Structure 1
Amino acid sequence: MGARRRMELYQPNPADMLSYHNGQVLHGDIAVSILWYGQFTQVQKTIVYDFLLSLTMMPQAASPSVAQWWNTIDQQYLSKAVPATPNAGGEAKMTEVLLANQESDDNYSMGKSLTLAQISDLAARANPKKGGVALVFTAQDVTVEGFCMSQCGLHGSDAKAGTTYVWVGNSATQCPGECAWPFHQPEYGPQDPALRPPNGDVGLDGMIVNLATELAGVVTNPFGDAYYQGSSDAPLEAATACPGQFGSGSYPGYAGNLKTDQASVKDHTHFVAMVSRVLVAAMVLMSLAQLSMGSRRLMELYVPPKSDQLTYHHGTVLSGDIPVSILWYGKFTPAQRSIATDFLLSLTTAPSAATPSVGQWWGTIDQLYLSSTAATNGAASATRVLLDAQASDEACSLGRSLTLAQVEQLAARAGGGKKDGIALVFTDEDVAVEGFCSSRCGKHGSAPGAQSTYIWVGNSVKQCPGQCAWPFAQPQYGPQGAPLVAPNGDVGMDGLVMVLATMVAGTVTNPYGDAFYQGPRDAPLEACTACPGVYGSGAYPGFPGNLLVDQTTGASYNANGVSGRKYLLPALYNPATSTCSTLV
């Protein structure tokens, strides 16, 4: 089916490249002080100590090493901003990390729920030196403002005092899938087995990954005016500009090709002191010729092995006339309902809609996936979506906190059971569903023993719009750029339609788990989920792509529908060309 490209190779505008803004970097001898907030075992502290010692004090370590990673920072960033001073022998002196003082607060003097202002106060208690870094580590039972929701750690500074600080939390009991991946299954996306942590502690090994990321940021952009990309108040820096990349061949959901400890079967990239090992993030590398204008590639071009490509597994797809029934669970206004139903009507009953259109998007699914497969199976007619029955449960008869089993029950009430049909279950903004926001924004499945399918999608506007309605809400993670204007004026419902489109594409092309998919059958990548976050040409992580803008409302969209509707629809993976196909 062709080699797959997980992300198009993208060259951003020169103004949006990671470059040097003529500010100060940390260099020379960098004194590091530590404050341990909460309970840490001596073994856990040693994992951190050994990583810090390995940065500049382990020239005899096996390669690849932590010191090599640090030396890359020095060569590509620090030495270019500040010429290295010679040592006594006349050689250029490297920037070194020196452990200074440390203290512990085992009694949680500020409580177990901290604000970012309190993190800054704790950093001051660590007594950082001028030109140094205070490290604040919070234990696994300490919650911190924004932890897990928007950050796994952060760095900041006191420009007047010339000091900086880094905070990193132990995510083991709060969000290991977000802040300790790949040593824990991710919160979102395919649930592939987690890698084994190199030091046997998911929380601490995850902390090291984040500590390395923040250290790279704090030394190359300590006061917000040195090396960064984007806006200075939400920058991409040396390591955060390469999210999720730890080895060659990495792509979203895959950390890359890593070394494996044959004795313990643990994964790592760098050897460090005391035979402990760590996994550290990739960095944007800058040559002298590129220093003034960057040359950043957000994602390497990757061709996976054939066994890991999105292919046809000879199962059934949905074709012909597909009856769709709807159950509205909770309260939806007529205006909200019409946003969703107009989208469904636009799939196959609006040939007169302006281009690009929802109908064209559906036609791409039909051409790339359905028509050839259906013809092979003796069903060559065009595939159409037909609105069938609708029902409402405004009283939320099963409560406002649903399990996935209860979602299946609701699907049956919606009219599920019709052969080759789809039952849609929409839950309102006040209804919590098992896994909603934490691992999914919607789901599709099939009734056991029956040739019928269902889709559930929730309105995320009150619970997690940054996850399930992005780019119409600020993202939960990463740079906090301004959200786009929703085309129908309802962030929750416009987000719901984006997820619905993703689920519809997955349902018709892989209804029973044996048709078009990539990866393991129980956690597949499908027609849309194989192109995560891509809505227009030039998309990259955190940027949805080049979209159309309504000149009257300022709303962003890529598809026209019935009654003048506009929608933002996800890209479709093209198995023939191994690319993500967009409408614009």
Structure 2
Amino acid sequence: MGSFTAATSNLLLLAVVIFSLVHLSTGSSRKLSALVEPQPNLLTYHNGQVLRGDIPVSILWYGQFTPTQKSIISDFLLSLTSTTQSSPNPSVSQWWNTIEQLYLSKAGKSGGPTTAHVVLASQVSDEGCSLGKSLTMGQISELAAKAQPKKGGVGLVFTAQDVAVDGFCMSRCGLHGSDPRTGSAYVWVGNSATQCPGQCAWPFHQPTYGPQTPPLTAPNGDVGVDGMVINLASMLAGAVTNPFGDGFFQGPKEAPLEAATACASVYGKGAYPGYAGDLQVDPTTGGSYNANGAHGRKYLLPALFDPSTSTCSTLGTCSFLLIFLVGFVDFCYGSRKLSSLYQPPPTLLAYHKGALLQGEIPISILWYGKFTPAQKSIISDFILSLSSPSSTPITPSVSKWWSNVDNLVQKAGKNKTHITLAHQASDEHCSIGKLLKRTQLLELARRTGSAKAGVALVLTAADVAVEGFCMNSCGSHGAVGSDGAASAAYVWVGNSMAQCPGQCAWPFHQPVYGPQSLPLVAPNGDVGADGMVINLAGLLAGAITNPFGSGYFVGDALAPVEVAAVCAGVYGKGAYPGYAGELPVDSATGGSYNVEGVNGRKFLVPAMFDPLTSTCSPVV
């Protein structure tokens, strides 16, 4: 009898397992069929021409450049094909060799050259700016022709800091193109020092957007020109591997991601938004760099995408140098070199032993300006979803996403959160105006009458301008208190629809910067409000886990990178710059989302950083 019972139990268990597997398999296939499908392979070869062999480079200096500035850039070009013995490791030539190994060696028919030997052919100057100081894209190609690049070569056009170029600082820091008549490519890069160094010379200048980390010291003492080298390196990599639009790239041909642009803002191991990665520091100048060049120069170069591993490969890490073997032992085990590395904060998202919000957390809302009932419903439903389990087993729920916050709170010895919607008030007529200072946000937060250990939520309408909005933030959070003691948190988020949807409502709007991928459909049909949910989600996570500046964060306490900000732009598996990741699509509306909430709502929320694995963990 006992034997029969055991056998029956085993059979029942086996039946449950088989049923679960069948259910999982059918459920998975149904879910996967609804995913936004990315391109099948990152940076595939499209069977076109690449540049290799001897590549003559001709330069046109447009505007005023000092001899020192010209020397910095010329030395970089000379460094590309220097022997590894001429510069200490890691070197500029090692970085360039990676392009040869990962891309050029895999292009076209076998038997041809697999190396690219850059030769500095000629240089001309147009200090008087013969075409003026406000250039169109058509004039850039005209200037490239004046450099007289040879067939199979590259014409370089460098514009000085007082020369404006169509799209410069708005959607690009440089570009590359080609001239089919001459069989040559061209690259343009501008000096951003006086126009947009926070966009085109980061990390050597305070960033315009994102986490406000302190800038690094430029290795050659010139923020504008050291920034130009970064962009020149990226554009040259693209010009060599995809000169005529049919080489190596990912995404649409008109706005491709290429060898270096696929790894934007990654310069060293451990990079994340606002942090360039582990970099070496020159003990004499304090300049941060990752590559040595000719004549003792030091440069900062972007990571390159490795199609074989689908990762960004950076100079200065042992795994990267394994490719080259040369100097491997000296670099990996040389304590002197390792001790000179720029050290990041010791642990990502460390807990700094301060207060967190925990237990019952009432949220009070002030709607500042005009919001439609539908917009209010979208945001209110999101808040109600945070502590409400989802009824569907297919897509992760908002509450499942929020459990990442609870994990951090409980890890600090605090109580699991329970978010409630306390009360709401409206100020449709904007009693203190439609142009607000940051200090006025705190004034508005106090009007909500938020409870102790609660959150005051200030939401500003599409026609309300806030200091710093669209310039360096899409929202913010801080502390509310009386008599100098903080007792509650506040969060502000603005509706960017009429001001900067390409910055604060991406991926539901064409981005202002970076790869120009097509926007996704907003899951609730409102680009502005759905974008607000993305920013609200990240800021609420920060407000709970770092309400008073001493909770979970990495970096400077005055400009902290928090649990969701670490993973900016990551929403689904396989995300990369310009691509939000694999996301489910609502079959009825076409809206892209990654979590479900109350009342049948669907939302897009950012990935959160997992301190245990040091990775960004999207919910799908």
Is TM more than 0.5 here?
yes
Q: How far apart in 2 are the matches of 1:382 and 1:263?
A: 50
Aligned position for 1:309? 348
Is the counterpart of residue 453 in structure 1 residue 493 in structure 2? no
Aligned position for 2:49? 24
Q: How far apart in 2 are the matches of 1:83 and 1:222?
A: 17
Query: Which residue identity is paired with 1:202?
Result: V
Contact 2:273 2:566 in 1 (8 A): no
Q: 1:349 to 1:264 in 2, by over 3 A?
A: closer
User: What are the Cα deviations for residues 81-106 of structure 1, in whole angstroms up to 9, with x where unaligned?
Assistant: 468999xxxxx795433333433333
Paired residue for 1:105, among 101, 107, 126?
126
Aligned position for 1:148? 169
Q: How many residues align?
A: 554
Aligned position for 1:53? 78
Cα deviation, residue 40, structure 1 = 1.7
Structure 1: which 5+ residue stretches go unaligned? 1-11, 87-91, 287-293
Paired residue for 1:444, among 473, 477, 485?
477
Q: 1:28 to 1:561 in 2, by over 3 A?
A: closer
Cα deviation, residue 489, structure 1 = 0.7
Q: 1:58 to 1:415 in 2, by over 3 A?
A: same
Q: 1:315 to 1:270 in 2, by over 3 A?
A: closer
Query: Which residue identity is paired with 1:446?
Result: A
Query: Which residue identity is paired with 2:62?
Result: Y
Aligned position for 1:335? 374
Alignment of 1:223-238 (within 5 A): 223-238=244-259
Is the counterpart of residue 361 in structure 1 residue 401 in structure 2? yes
Aligned position for 1:506? 542
Aligned position for 2:58? 33
Query: Which residue identity is paired with 2:476?
Result: K
Q: How far apart in 2 are the matches of 1:577 and 1:258?
A: 22
Is the counterpart of residue 280 in structure 1 residue 306 in structure 2? no
Alignment of 1:358-397 (within 5 A): 358-366=398-406, 368-371=407-410, 373=412, 376=413, 380=415, 383-395=418-430, 397=432
Alignment of 1:104-253 (within 5 A): 104-253=125-274
User: What are the Cα deviations for residues 230-254 of structure 1, in whole angstroms up to 9, with x where unaligned?
Assistant: 3322222222233223334444433
Aligned position for 1:428? 461
Aligned position for 2:594? 558
- State the identity %: 56
Structure 2: which 5+ residue stretches go unaligned? 1-36, 320-342
Aligned position for 1:539? 575
Aligned position for 2:387? 348
Q: How far apart in 1 are the matches of 2:279 and 2:358?
A: 42
Query: Which residue identity is paired with 1:388?
Result: H
Query: Which residue identity is paired with 1:151?
Result: R
Cα deviation, residue 19, structure 1 = 2.9
Paired residue for 1:321, among 357, 360, 366?
360
Aligned position for 2:439? 405
Q: Aligned Cα RMSD in Å? A: 3.1
Greater helix content:
2
Looking at both structures, which has the greater relative contact order when contacts are Cα pairs under 8 Å and sequence separation is at least 6? 1
Contact 2:486 2:548 in 1 (8 A): no
Q: How far apart in 2 are the matches of 1:463 and 1:127?
A: 42
Q: How far apart in 2 are the matches of 1:541 and 1:166?
A: 21
Contact 1:419 1:450 in 2 (8 A): no
Query: Which residue identity is paired with 1:307?
Result: P
Q: How far apart in 2 are the matches of 1:571 and 1:132?
A: 43
Give SS of 1:67's match. Answer: helix
Contact 1:154 1:168 in 2 (8 A): yes
Cα deviation, residue 390, structure 1 = 0.9
Q: How far apart in 2 are the matches of 1:362 and 1:82?
A: 49
> TM (normalized to structure 1)?
0.86
Cα deviation, residue 393, structure 1 = 4.1
Contact 1:441 1:457 in 2 (8 A): yes
User: What are the Cα deviations for residues 527-553 of structure 1, in whole angstroms up to 9, with x where unaligned?
Assistant: 322332232334344332332211111
Q: How far apart in 2 are the matches of 1:73 and 1:497?
A: 40
Query: Which residue identity is paired with 1:214?
Result: M
Q: How far apart in 1 are the matches of 2:106 and 2:486?
A: 65
Q: 1:513 to 1:272 in 2, by over 3 A?
A: same
Contact 1:84 1:94 in 2 (8 A): no
Q: 1:93 to 1:202 in 2, by over 3 A?
A: same
Give SS of 1:548's match. Answer: coil
Q: 1:436 to 1:143 in 2, by over 3 A?
A: farther
> TM (normalized to structure 2)?
0.81
Paired residue for 1:414, among 443, 448, 455?
448
Aligned position for 2:33? none
Give SS of 1:505's match. Answer: helix
Is the counterpart of residue 67 in structure 1 residue 106 in structure 2? no
Q: How far apart in 2 are the matches of 1:246 and 1:350?
A: 40
Aligned position for 1:523? 559
Query: Which residue identity is paired with 2:472?
Result: S
Aligned position for 2:25? none
Q: How far apart in 1 are the matches of 2:448 and 2:164?
A: 41
Query: In terms of mean alpha carbon deviation, does 492-501 or 329-338 score higher?
Result: 329-338
